[in-house]
Structure 1
Amino acid sequence: MIRCLIIDDEPLAIEVIKTHLAQLSELQLVGSFANAVAALETLKREPIDLIFLDIEMPLLSGIDFIKNTPMVPKVIFTTAYRNYAIESYELDVVDYLLKPISFSRFFKAINKFKTMAQLPIAKEEVKKEVPLNDHLYVNANKKFIKIAYHEILYVESMKDYIRIHLSDKSVVTKEALSNFEAKLPAEFLRIHRSFIVNTQKVTAFTKVDVEIGKTELPIGTSYKETVMGFLNIGQ
């Protein structure tokens, strides 16, 4: 069993994580707390393997909690704020989950923890990570075109339209980029107000751009820390 704690001052966020935890039989929730100080006593007397830790909390932030707690267990940050990704990476946390947390992204973080802890990944869990549908249909040129997720390189916004770039062609459809983003699985990442990339296709990146083959895509200023955290931690 992987013994877990949740430390978060948002009751709804705690309930979401509890729901995700309940779907994986080897995860045991030992307790949940509204602030890090309240969790200290449990950490002293209970063996804990993994903490789901919010960052901005009353009394003690999640970052200060890690810095000032000796022998802290492995941590997965759960936060609504993008701007802590790089700092969290420097703290050697397992992963950085941006709220609202989908089960597929949560599951990916758990598998990363298992890999770090050299724990086996059960076959039935791997099946959960694979979406029931590996494709979607988009309306283009008065017909619905089937597009497999793994074929998408990146998606580009063009005001009221988007252009979906595939390895051998591109497809244009009328839809807002934010709406299309909500349909994509966890491996897709918004890097700019005008671009979403398939992180499985990223061949290189810097602090200012992402490369997919010979194509260079800019990283927006407000997305920079989330992108750095995801590409360094989430993969």
Structure 2
Amino acid sequence: MNTPNTINCLVVDDEPLAAKLLTRHINQFAQLHLVATCENALEAFDLLQKESIDLLFLDIQMPGIDGLKFARSLQSPPSIIFTTAYRDYAVESYELDVVDYLLKPITIDRFLKSITKYLGQINSGRTPNHFQEVIADHEEPFMYVNTNRKFVKVVFSEVLYVESLKDYVKIHLPDQHILTKEKISEFEQKLPDFFLRIHRSYIVNINQITAYTMHDVEINDQEIPIGVSYKKEVMKYLRGNNNAFLT
């Protein structure tokens, strides 16, 4: 049974083994729902008239209408990830503003990067189909974070702070921690402007700060250090927003 946050997927590929591999990848993610697989563009076109599809995995070289021509023919296409064994179509495919271009055979790691990129586009406002309504209905802005091959919703205002652990970030919430594989510098770009980088290893939610000194900020009973190279900008920011810390 689909939930409102389900990402409806369609695979269009005339190679059974390639379609089977994509199906296996899709089924590993709780938020992804495979609506159907089609062997050609005509089958896919008929299905798109009947079903709400958010994400289309589209092979390029197919009999009849190829994937590029099919993508151009769609007036209101879903988000598209091209899948192909050939590098030659990369430039032409990106002119269609697709999410990604996957080379076969598609590994689970590369597949995960594509899904993460797709979710990033959702969070930035490039939102397909029913996702636009789902996000619009929420008063609190949020993002989906991948953890253990499951995408978990994180409401920005509930985040206390973010901690870097080498190639991972640990998102500290009031009642739990979420670990996701991403560098903190990349994760920082996805956060709203009420988050502040105070250390090479820490980003804090300024609305959660309960006290600060020249050396650290406090969030509840947790002391978080201010890095030497960040101190000047952090102090300038905090002192310029003193009203935010008055109760």
TM-score for both structures, normalised by structure 2: 0.50
Q: 1:56 and 1:45 mapped to 2: Cα distance?
A: 24
Q: Displacement, 1:104?
A: 0.1
Q: Please tell me whether residue 40 in structure 1 is matched to residue 64 in structure 2.
A: no
1:29 has 2:34 as partner: yes
Q: Does 1:20 align with 2:25?
A: yes
**Match in the other structure for 1:87:** 92
SS of the residue aligned with 1:70?
coil
Partner of 1:66: 71
Is residue 121 of structure 1 aligned with residue 145 of structure 2? yes
What is the CA–CA distance in structure 2 between the aligned matches of 1:72 and 1:19, rounded to whole Å?
A: 24
Alpha-carbon shift at residue 97 of structure 1 (Å): 0.3
Residue 60 of structure 2: SS of its match in structure 1? coil
Q: Secondary structure at the match of 1:13?
A: helix
* Per-residue deviation, 1:87: 0.6
Identity %: 47
CA–CA distance in 2 between the matches of 1:126 and 1:12? 25
Unaligned ranges ≥5, structure 1: 128-149, 151-199, 201-235
Aligned positions of 1:139-218 closer than 5 A? none
What's the counterpart of residue 51 of structure 1? 56
What is the alpha-carbon distance in structure 2 between the residues aligned to residue 122 and residue 36 of structure 1?
A: 31
SS at match of 1:25: coil
Quote the Cα distance in structure 2 between the aligned partners of 1:122 and 1:96.
20
**Letter of the aligned partner of 2:48 in structure 1?**
L
Cα distance in structure 2, aligned partners of 1:18 and 1:88: 22
Residue 22 of structure 1: CA displacement? Answer: 1.0
Equivalent residue number for residue 7 of structure 2: 2
The separation in 2 between residues aligned to 1:126 and 1:71, in whole angstroms, is 28
Q: Which has the greater radius of gyration?
A: 2
SS in 1 for 2:56: strand
- Report the CA distance between 1:121 and its aligned residue: 1.9
- The alignment's C-alpha RMSD in Å is 1.8
Distance 2:17 2:57 in 1: 14
Q: Per-residue deviation at 1:126? A: 7.7
SS in 1 for 2:77: coil
**How many equivalent pairs are there?**
129
* d(CA) in 2 for partners of 1:89, 1:122: 25
Secondary structure of the 2:97 match is coil
8 A contact 2:85–2:103 mirrored in 1: yes
C-alpha separation between the residues in 2 aligned to 1:38 and 1:122?
Answer: 32
Per the alignment, residue 192 of structure 1 pairs with none
- What is the TM-score of this pair, normalised by structure 1? 0.53
Question: How far apart, in 1, do the equivalents of 2:150 and 2:56 lie?
Answer: 22
Amino acid aligned to 2:148: E
Q: Which ranges in structure 2 are unaligned for 5 or more consecutive residues?
A: 1-5, 124-142, 152-166, 168-185, 187-247
Corresponding residue for 1:11?
16
